[in-house]
Amino acid sequence: MNVYDSARMADVLAPLGYEPAGSPEGADMIVLNTCHIREKAAEKVFSELGRLKQFKIAKEADGGRMLIAVAGCVAQAEGREILRRAPQVDVVLGPQTYHRLPEMIAKAMRAAPGAGVLDTDFPPESKFDHLPEEAASQGPAAFLSVQEGCDKFCTFCVVPYTRGAEFSRPVGQVVAEAERLVADGALEITLLGQNVNAYHGQASVEGAEIWGLGRLIRRLAGIDGLKRLRYTTSHPRDMDDDLIETHGAVKELMPYLHLPVQSGSDRVLEAMNRRHTADDYRRIVERLRRARPDLALSSDFIVGFPGETDRDFAETLRLVTETGFAQAYSFKYSPRPGTPAAMAECQVPEAVKAGRLAMLQTLLNEQQAAFNQMSVGKTMSVLLERPGRRSGQLVGRSPHMQAVHVSAPEHLLGRVVDVEIEAGHPNSLAGCLAGDRAAGAIDPGVGAAPDGPFRQAGL
């Protein structure tokens, strides 16, 4: 979402004459767009601001002026502290106010040095209503925010405090933006939201009809030229029947889903306020796989949540073994200031967390490697997104989100091509173009994906 937000900030700044610079050196403005999810996020921002200050000093020594802005969720959470500790910062803005950047810049230009401008409101107007219609091309694989914020209040998470209450963009606005992206060359669109499957967009300005994510996906799949759709990040509780059926019915919806579970222990899930059980998750996965047998799953895991016992952790390992994940993100629990779990007394010792994380990651890595190995010998459709490190090599994504390194000429960049997979590595695949068909425009080719639900050894 920060990649999307950064692109939209660039769109807001373009009419003022700003354009993206190749490096911070000599730039007229630096916008540091921050994320609060990772550990010690605020400290990383302060350390980065120390580094950026040198560029500002150098520009001023040359008689120029450089503005430094801090945006995103750390800005939202730590706004005043940033201005207090880092007087080199001119503007601090939260994720919901970046459409006001031009006013903030004008104020900052008039302000005395060190008097920063702060705007971390949750304004009543939606920023999406005020963003410019003109947007820079995002290339063949584009992001589109359809939903923001969250009302779930998981006890470990800062999102409801930094991004605010759940909000869905109206259907018409989403469709118009998707059509623009496709006209600009996007073949794949990833729909974004902190809790994207909670999407409930107004169907029309006057009407009371509300569309869920499944219906929105079916509408977007009808856009001429759009080959692939994805969405992230979703919550098990919002996986409704319509969305599950959409996975089976819409070929443009790629057979890959990131569905965070966090833990396999009901006791821990309750302490996390996840509002689902491990068996709820299993049932949802079962239904999804019935609708879309080749669906590849990804998930998030937190180990060492306050109060997690060996038995709880064993439940997580059991769920992973039974479910099978094509990839996953796993972390040691680390407290986020202001969240309920941070205040819990029963924190798990670091050494225990580290031991459990290593065990979990070994299992997840084995599953990912097995999943990648099962792709070898198959022909898959790959959207070629960027040049690889080696000459004559392009890199793209399979329908299952695997990174695929392909020997292919550069003119195929931005195309969907069929690729024969020759090797499966722990984190990627390698292959070559599938014969003569590579030179032509190829169908999104979801049918060319590897067979089956990958349940070998739990996959």
Q: Compute the distance between CA of residue 351 and CA of residue 148 in angstroms, rounded to an integer.
A: 36
Segment near ligand SF4 (CB under 6 A), from 38-46, 107-115, 147-155, 372-380? Answer: 147-155
**Which is nearer to ligand SF4, 194 or 347 (by Cβ)?**
194
Taking CB under 6 A as the binding criterion, the range among 7-15, 68-76, 155-163, 437-445 that sits at the site for ligand SF4 is 155-163
Of the pair 44, 152, the CB lying nearest ligand SF4 is at 152
DSSP tag of 373: H
The secondary structure element, H or E, covering residue 101 is helix 101-110
For the CB of residue 217, give the shortest distance to ligand SF4 in the complex, in Å: 20
Contacts 24+ apart (CB under 8 A), 2-8: 2/33, 2/34, 2/35, 2/72, 3/143, 4/143, 4/144, 4/145, 4/192, 5/33, 5/71, 5/72, 5/95, 5/98, 5/145, 6/31, 6/33, 7/135, 7/136, 7/138, 7/143, 8/98, 8/131, 8/135
> What span, in angstroms and rounded, lies between the C-alpha atoms of 42 and 364?
29
Q: Can you say how many angstroms the Cα of residue 380 is from the centroid of all Cα atoms in its chain? A: 23
Cβ proximity to ligand SF4: between 292 and 336 the closer is: 336
Q: What's the rounded Cα separation, in Å, for the pair 414 and 140?
A: 5
Q: How far is the CB of 274 from ligand SF4 (least distance, A)?
A: 7
Q: Report the nearest approach of ligand SF4 to the CB of residue 262 (Å).
A: 8
Question: Measured from the CB atom, is 95 or 453 closer to ligand SF4?
Answer: 95
**CB within 8 A of 173, min separation 6: which ones?**
128, 129
What secondary structure does DSSP assign to 62-97, as a single string?
A: TT---EEEEEHHHHHHHHHHHHHH-TT--EEE-TT-
Give me 130's structure tokens.
């005020």
State the Cα–Cα distance between residues 315 and 320, nearest whole angstrom.
9
Task: Give, as ranges, the residues between 84 and 123 that touch ligand SF4 (CB under 6 A).
Answer: none
Paired with 32 in beta bridges are 70
According to CB under 6 A, which one of 31, 69, 150, 382 is a site residue for ligand SF4? 150
CB of 277 to ligand SF4, least distance (A): 16
The count of chain residues that interact with ligand SF4, using the rule CB under 6 A, is 10
Rg, Å, the chain Cα set: 23
Nearer to ligand SF4, 116 or 160 (CB): 160
Question: Within 33-72, which residues bind ligand SF4 (CB under 6 A)?
Answer: none
> What is the amino acid identity at position 3?
V
Minimum CB–partner distance for residue 237 and ligand SF4 (Å): 8
* Distance from C-alpha of 379 to C-alpha of 181, rounded to nearest angstrom: 28
Pick from 244, 255, 249, 196: which is nearest to 221 by CA?
Answer: 249
Residue appearing with tokens 């965070």: 260
Q: Quick one: which of 30, 157, 288, 374 contacts ligand SF4 (CB under 6 A)?
A: 157
CB of 177 to ligand SF4, least distance (A): 22
For ligand SF4, the closer CB: 152 or 200: 152
Site for ligand SF4 in 175-194 (CB under 6 A): 194
326 is an interface residue for ligand SF4 by CB under 6 A? no
Nearer to ligand SF4, 234 or 381 (CB): 234
Cα(92)–Cα(76) distance, integer angstroms: 8
- Interaction of residue 239 with ligand SF4, rule CB under 6 A: no
Candidate residues 127, 228, 235, 400; the one interacting with ligand SF4 per rule CB under 6 A: 235
Point out which residues pair with 68 in neighbouring strands.
30
Contact stretch for ligand SF4 (CB under 6 A) within 93-101, 146-154, 310-318, 326-334: 146-154
Between 59 and 152, whose beta carbon lies closer to ligand SF4? 152
Q: Choose the binding region for ligand SF4 from 28-36, 87-95, 157-165, 171-179 (rule: CB under 6 A).
A: 157-165
Close Cβ partners of 365 (under 8 Å, ≥ 6 residues apart): 426
195 binds ligand SF4, rule: CB under 6 A: yes
Q: Nearer to ligand SF4 by C-beta: 67 or 319?
A: 319
Of positions 44, 59, 85, 152, contacts ligand SF4 by CB under 6 A? 152
The answer to whether 261 contacts ligand SF4 (rule: CB under 6 A) is no
Task: Check residue 154 for interaction with ligand SF4 (CB under 6 A).
Answer: yes
Q: Which tokens go with 215?
A: 């219906």
Tokens of residue 310, six digits = 């060996």
**Which one of the spans 54-62, 103-111, 145-153, 407-415 is the region binding ligand SF4 (CB under 6 A)?**
145-153
Choose, by CB under 6 A, the member of 79, 95, 140, 160 that binds ligand SF4.
160
> Site for ligand SF4 (CB under 6 A): which residue of 21, 65, 111, 153?
153
Q: Footprint of ligand SF4 on this chain (CB under 6 A)?
A: 150, 152-154, 157, 159-160, 194-195, 235
